[in-house]
């Protein structure tokens, strides 16, 4: 599981690097599949092994399910992992002061 934090104005790029049980590089068949299980976030696929988790507009958590086919042959052996994106509201950076036209007293 991967837990990440960002504001509701941000997204985070993710790269998938499959590993064997011994921690060595491994292959998967095809592209990873990413789905939103819960929450207001979305996902942008940027490649077969890369994507962006995109925060929703309001603070809260989004849970993403990442899955892939580990069997390089005709069958399917699905492996899965979870990403939880904790989204906080963006803080004010300035007061945004503005003035109207001068008026008589």
Q: Are 97 and 16 in contact (CB under 8 A)?
A: no
Structural domain including 73 reads 2-88
pTM of the model as a whole: 0.89
pLDDT for res 71? 86
Let me know if residue 47 belongs to a domain: yes
Let me know if residue 96 belongs to a domain: no
Digit-by-digit pLDDT tens for the chain (105 residues) are 999 999 999 999 999 999 999 999 999 999 999 999 999 999 999 999 999 999 999 999 999 999 999 988 888 999 999 999 999 999 999 999 999 999 999
Strand partners, 81: 66
pLDDT for res 11? 98
Let me know if residue 46 belongs to a domain: yes
What Å distances lie between residue 92 and 7, 95, 96, CA to CA? 12, 7, 9
pLDDT for res 40? 98
Let me know if residue 99 belongs to a domain: no
Tokens, residue 102: 């001068």
Strand partners, 3: 84
Let me know if residue 53 belongs to a domain: yes
Let me know if residue 102 belongs to a domain: no
What CATH number is associated with residue 72?
2.60.40.3450
pLDDT for res 18? 96
pLDDT for res 75? 86
What Å distances lie between residue 2 and 64, 80, 91, 93, 103, CA to CA? 10, 12, 25, 29, 57
Let me know if residue 104 belongs to a domain: no
Domain total of the chain: 1
């Amino acid at each position: 599981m991967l837990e990440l934090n960002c504001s509701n104005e941000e997204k985070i790029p993710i790269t998938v690097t499959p590993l064997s049980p011994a921690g060595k590089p491994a292959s998967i068949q095809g592209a990873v599949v990413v789905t939103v299980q819960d929450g207001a976030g979305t996902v942008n696929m940027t490649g077969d092994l890369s994507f962006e988790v995109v925060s929703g507009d309001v603070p809260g958590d989004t849970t993403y399910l990442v899955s892939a086919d580990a069997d390089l042959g005709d069958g399917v052996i699905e492996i899965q992992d979870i990403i939880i994106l904790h989204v906080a509201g963006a803080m004010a950076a300035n007061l945004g002061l503005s003035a109207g036209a001068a008026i008589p007293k």
